[in-house]
């Protein structure tokens, strides 16, 4: 369920960040309210995800996927320029997110295989 909440947090954050453009520096009340509500929902979902996922991996995924997605939205919807430097930066973000996930997956397999020993009480 944690992954579901995390992906929800990412999707809502992408919409909220995309909406920032429409707020015109928070001078338009309705878009501003929508953006603020979006960020609240995103943080709510992120907090739910943290109940079962690690903070480091969750935040890295949330911010990394969000950043890469917003860069794509900027190019596709707002005409942001594409450059070799930007593409290289996005590749680094994606590589970092994948690396963190691989490490988290390895750690979770190790924790399951090792197990946790419970103390034995003697009377």
- C-alpha distances in Å from residue 40, one per residue of 14, 17, 43, 46, 106: 13, 12, 5, 10, 32
The mean per-residue pLDDT over the stretch 15-31 comes to 96
Residues 90, 43: contact at Cβ < 8 Å?
A: no
Q: Categorize the per-residue pLDDT at 109 as very low, low, confident or very high, splitting at 50, 70 and 90.
A: low
Distance between CA atoms of residues 61 and 54, nearest Å: 11
62 or 109, higher pLDDT: 62
Give me the pLDDT at residue 113, please.
52
Give me the pLDDT at residue 30, please.
97
Give me the pLDDT at residue 118, please.
54
């Amino acid at each position: 369920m944690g992954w579901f909440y995390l992906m929800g947090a990412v999707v809502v954050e992408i919409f909220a960040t995309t909406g920032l453009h429409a707020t015109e520096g928070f001078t338009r009340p309705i878009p501003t309210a929508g953006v603020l509500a979006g960020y609240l929902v995103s943080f709510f979902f992120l907090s739910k995800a943290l109940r079962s996922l690690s903070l480091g991996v969750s935040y890295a995924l949330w911010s990394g996927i969000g950043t890469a997605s917003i860069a794509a939205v900027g190019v596709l919807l707002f005409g942001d320029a594409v450059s070799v430097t930007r593409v290289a930066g996005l590749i680094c973000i994606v590589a970092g997110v994948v690396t963190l996930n691989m490490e988290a997956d390895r750690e979770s397999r190790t924790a399951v295989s090792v197990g946790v020993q419970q103390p034995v009480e003697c009377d």
